[in-house]
Copies of this chain bind each other. A is one copy, B any other.
């Protein structure tokens, strides 16, 4: 049951997050999008670098950017210093979604702490940190799901 429970815990949190985000004006935001917005970051990036951060090909990253651009969460701009590069950065809407995600995650963690106790939640986090390889999902990406 351990693996299923970990997955179910993650999905519960993510489902709750997206239900709340939909309520707050972001119904099109899908679970994967949060990872992408986080990886783009407030400073922006390029499709190639985004691919590296997410651990996928530059082509896959490019397609994902296309979709987020179509949804109004990202925009592309030319790099004045390098005509090959297209800078990818968040729009105001993207930034809004990202900020709300962080807030909602904080609230959800508080809800877990209210039920289980803050120590138990902290213990789960400590235990998991000990069991997962440090580079899984590049948890060192600045600001990864700040919540």
Q: Which of B2, B8, B12, B120 contacts A121 (CB 8 A)?
A: B2
A4 and B139 alpha carbons, distance in the complex (Å):
8
- Contact present for A12 and B112 (CB under 8 Å): no
- From residue A9, how far is it (CB to closest CB) to chain B in Å? 5
- List the B residue with the shortest CB-CB distance to A136: B8
| Chain A contact residues, majority secondary structure | helix
A116 and B145 contact, CB distance less than 8 A: no
Q: Is A82 an interface residue (CB 8 A)?
A: no
Q: Write the A6-33 contact mask toward B (1 if CB under 8 angstroms, else 0).
A: 1111111110010000000000000000
Interface residue from B116, B144, B145 paired with A131 (Cβ < 8 Å): B116
Could you list which residues of chain A lie within 8 angstroms of chain B, going by C-beta atoms?
1-14, 17, 105, 108-109, 112, 115-116, 120-121, 123-125, 127-133, 136-137, 139, 144-145, 147
Other A-B pairs, 11, CB within 8 Å; known A5-B129, A6-B7, A11-B132 = A1-B139, A1-B147, A2-B112, A3-B145, A4-B145, A6-B9, A6-B13, A8-B132, A112-B131, A115-B131, A123-B123
